[in-house]
Amino acid sequence: MISNPTRILPILCLLAVAVFSPARADTLRWNVQSEFGITAKGVGQAISKAKKHFGQKPDDTIVLEFDAGTYQLDGKDSDFGTIDLSGVEPGPNGRLVFQGAGMDKTVLVFSDNVHAIAGRKVFRVTMADMHMTRRNYTVSQGTVVESARGRLVLDIQNGFPTPADIFNPQSDQGRYVREYVNSKTDPQLVVENNPQYAWREAVPLGGQRWQLNLVKRNAVPHYAKGALLGIKSKHGGQTYWLMGGSDFIFKSVKWTHKTRGVFRGGFDRIQVLDCVTDRAAPINGQTPCLAAPGGGPQIGQPWDPPTTGNVVKDCRFIASGDDAVAFFHAKGEISGCYIQDAFARGILASNSPEAVIENNSLVRCPLQRSKDHKLRGKLSDMIPEKPGS
């Protein structure tokens, strides 16, 4: 029998608060270099530790801090991705943040033919303030020596990779040339009468001279002698490849050499903010025609489930090797972006009628809204007379 019931009430109240109040969420900062090392192995260890922590305290925020500097993250062909985010899933109020020191201060150099970032079932991740690149040039260029039926003879410009260097024997797609203004510092994409010519093999002719055999054996390219051609050949290793998940942010991230990244499987709530895809540094004073053999951010793919809540905003996409940004069956917004000299379309909105596309500047590359992703006529016919869309 309780002699004084009024004394027990405060104790019961305190117990109720302890039982029903949520645990306090913390923000933890881990310096990757000092605690793990900024290598593929070290970053993997940091991710594993974070996943284990989220199992105990799911609503915490873990910030992986990357110091200023250039770091080699060497992946293996057998790796799913050099940075594998599979199964990263903080609680609804938690987050895993990869925080660099600045877009031009923290540089992560990935292996050429491996996905830089990959993952299945990835939730609530931010990558910010860093530059992601590859060790070697992934595109080439040269001047026309001869245009003939089914072939082109080119002199590869000094210091650029040969066609054999960028050739992917495991793929028969994504090998094209297009013409650029022959300028050392500003090789702009030629708009009029400049189709993509597909090539299938490259034959060395001695020195820097190469012959490209075309897919269409009866095609006679229109190029004049001395014309400058950008040469691309898509090959393995995406900048990011993420299948299934939600709430991923790229903020102030720059990509060079490899620029194409893909969100698949209905991945939603993707934000690409203040990001850049750009050409790499000039070679022997010659600015490259292309930034990369592939495009830029790809939200979904043609046969993926619908995706919603996506934002690509205030970005700068220069000279991508395909569509600079693409929505497939996607809802969201593409706005405030400057897009220049994309090899294909500046913006592709495929089966995405509700996507808001506004206040973008497109220079020498078109916006295409269409039911499917097929190219509509000539690229030059789609390019507005004045930049902007």
Q: List the domains of the chain with CATH numbers.
A: 25-134 (no CATH), 140-233 (2.40.10.170), 259-389 (no CATH)
- Region of 124 on the Ramachandran plot (φ > 0 left; ψ -120 to 50 alpha; else beta): left
Give the pLDDT band (50/70/90) at residue 15: very low
Cβ(50)–Cβ(83) under 8 Å?
A: no
How would you classify residue 184: left for phi > 0, otherwise alpha for psi between -120 and 50, otherwise beta?
alpha
Question: What DSSP character marks residue 162?
Answer: P
Least confident of 37-46, 128-137, 230-239: 230-239
Q: What would the mean pLDDT of 140-165 be, rounded to a whole number?
A: 97
Bridge-based pairing of strands 361-363 and 338-340 is parallel
Pairing of strands 175-180, 197-206: antiparallel
CA angle 148, 151, 154 (to 5 degrees): 95
Which amino acid is present at 354? E
CB-CB contact of 348 with 326 (8 Å): yes
Residue type, 173: Q
Q: What's the mean pLDDT in 45-72?
A: 98
Question: What pLDDT is stored for residue 23 in this prediction?
Answer: 64
Three-state DSSP state, 49: helix
What would the pLDDT profile of 276-328 be if each residue is shown by its tens digit? 999 999 999 999 999 999 999 999 999 999 999 999 999 999 999 999 999 99
Quick check: 18 pLDDT over 60?
no
pLDDT tens readout for residues 76-98 = 776 788 999 999 999 999 999 99
Q: What is the DSSP letter of 111?
A: -
- Checking if the pLDDT of 7 tops 60, the result is no
Measured CA to CA, the distance from residue 272 to residue 334 in angstroms comes to 9
Q: State residue 17's pLDDT score.
A: 42
Which tokens in the block code for residue 77? Answer: 């062909």
User: How far is 93 from 162, CA to CA, in rounded Å?
Assistant: 50
Residue 339 to residue 186: CA distance in whole angstroms:
15
Question: What DSSP character marks residue 354?
Answer: T
- Tell me: pLDDT of 53 over 70: yes
Q: Containing H/E element for 358?
A: strand 356-358
Q: Which residue has the higher pLDDT, 9 or 214?
A: 214
What mean pLDDT value characterizes the chain?
A: 91
Strand pairing category for 106-110 and 140-148: unpaired
Contact by Cβ (8 Å): 320, 298: no
Q: Residue 217: is it exposed, middle or buried by C-beta count within 10 angstroms (0-12/13-18/19+)?
A: exposed
Return the amino acid letter for 115.
H
pLDDT at 113: 83
User: What is the percent of the chain with per-residue pLDDT over 70, rounded to a whole number?
Assistant: 90
Residues 6+ apart with CB under 8 A from 268: 246, 247, 307, 308, 309, 310
Residue 270: alpha-carbon gap to chain centroid: 13
Q: Is 218 exposed, middle or buried (0-12, 13-18, 19+ CB in 10 A)?
A: exposed
Q: Which of 5-19, 253-267, 325-339 has the lowest mean pLDDT?
A: 5-19
Provide φ and ψ at 58, rounded to 5°: -65, -25
